[in-house]
Structure 1
Amino acid sequence: MESFGVDVLGIADELTAAYVEVFTAPPWEHRDPEETRVAFRARLEEDAHRDGFRALVERGDDGRIAGFVTGWVTPAPFRTDRAYGNVLKRLGEEQVKELLVGAFEIDELGVLASSRGTGLGRRLLTTAVEEQGSRAWLLTWNQAHDTIAFYRRIGWTEPEVRGPETDIVVFLSPKA
């Protein structure tokens, strides 16, 4: 498994291609591949410079990326762009401060179809959390039923929901 900081930008094209392959397949098949590519690449350029940014990449026998995880330490104040506003609505400001701020935030986890069922997703998450030596969290779309079942199966848990339902589900790492 390869570990990266800002130097992940050296493999940005390859990582972006892997991201598009994962996140334009079911249940995300409604996403346009070119729009997905452009948006992820722009986010990666910005995210790689965040405090505490890490990326892990596992390659298959063919040398291509088989899976990846990216993330960083969640800063204060908690953001409200992207899906973060829904996290605040769902958990409430107090829980966000207690459970998420200062924790390692898994931003993206992707395992290509050819590597699913091998334990790679679990290894990527476990390594990411262990590298940080602290608690971690992530969120996913509430329609990604297989993904939600996977997180639950490997011991990630959902904090108490204090606000209205949204289209996201928040998970805390087993060490949280």
Structure 2
Amino acid sequence: MTGTVHRVPGPDLLTHRDGIRQVYATAFAQPPWHSRPAHADDYLERLAGDTGRPGFTGAVALDGDQVVGFATAWTTETPLPATRSYPHVSAALGAERTAAWLCGGLEVDELAVAPGAHGRGLGRALLDEVTRDAPGGRCWLLTSVKAEATVRFYERLGWHQATRPAPNGYGTAVFLGPHHPARSAVLPPAPGA
């Protein structure tokens, strides 16, 4: 692996804000995200508040002094909030599974590696760094099923898609981490899916 991954506590992650902004802008510019540079600015504003969340952890991948990747995670609120994509998640999993599988677990919010740094193992290392302390292995994330390479990446690392099809055709699916105790309860994809 070329580059090093460092765990960065809470607000200290913001010392890397310019590099994180650049990675966010380039990593999410392509389909299916179609992110514009202004979205990277919006993300940095959100990140400033997110660093104060319970259980927040962050990690950066550095090539020398240059940020080439980052990841963030935090403890999922109980009950699951009614903001962002969470209502779709709750509808797809149902209240009981949402509470048992997600609430109180570690939610990976963002994982991004600059396109020029792909293939170095940095995505895996970042993901491992922010999920290593997941309570009882209970970590999860949301991603777009339209991001086929991203979905394959998580599957190669042992993550299991828990919502099939993606909630309400929204295109976002829940993935449970490789040590999540509920992963054995996840239904396999339908034949031909």
- If the length of structure 1 is used for normalisation, what is the TM-score? 0.90
Task: Name 1:33's counterpart in structure 2.
Answer: 37
The count of corresponding residues between Structure 1 and Structure 2 is 173
CA–CA separation in structure 1 for the residues paired with 2:79 and 2:105:
13
What whole-Å deviation, never above 9, does each CA across 1:45-74 have from its counterpart, x for those lacking one?
11011111111001114x211111101010
After the TM superposition, which residues 125-164 of structure 1 pair with which residues of structure 2 at under 5 Å, given as runs? 125-132=127-134, 134-159=137-162, 161=164, 164=168
1:149 Cα deviation from its structure 2 partner? 1.1
CA–CA separation in structure 2 for the residues paired with 1:102 and 1:146:
28
CA RMSD, Structure 1 to Structure 2 (Å): 1.8
Stretch deviating more after TM superposition (107-116 or 127-136): 127-136
CA–CA separation in structure 1 for the residues paired with 2:6 and 2:35:
28
1:169 Cα deviation from its structure 2 partner? 1.0
Segments of 5+ residues of structure 2 without an aligned counterpart are 181-193
1:165 Cα deviation from its structure 2 partner? 4.1
Task: Name 1:85's counterpart in structure 2.
Answer: 87
1:164 Cα deviation from its structure 2 partner? 4.3
Stretch deviating more after TM superposition (155-164 or 133-142): 155-164
Task: Name 1:111's counterpart in structure 2.
Answer: 113
Task: Name 1:97's counterpart in structure 2.
Answer: 99
Task: Name 1:59's counterpart in structure 2.
Answer: 62
1:33 Cα deviation from its structure 2 partner? 1.5
CA–CA separation in structure 2 for the residues paired with 1:127 and 1:37:
23
Task: Name 2:191's counterpart in structure 1.
Answer: none
Identity %: 35
Q: Check the 8 A contact 1:53/1:71 in 2, yes or no.
A: yes
Q: Check the 8 A contact 1:90/1:166 in 2, yes or no.
A: no
1:104 Cα deviation from its structure 2 partner? 0.6
1:160 Cα deviation from its structure 2 partner? 5.3
Q: Check the 8 A contact 1:6/1:53 in 2, yes or no.
A: no
Q: 1:148 to 1:140 in 2, by over 3 A?
A: same
CA–CA separation in structure 2 for the residues paired with 1:31 and 1:57:
21
Segments of 5+ residues of structure 1 without an aligned counterpart are none
Code of the aligned partner of 1:13: D
Code of the aligned partner of 1:87: V
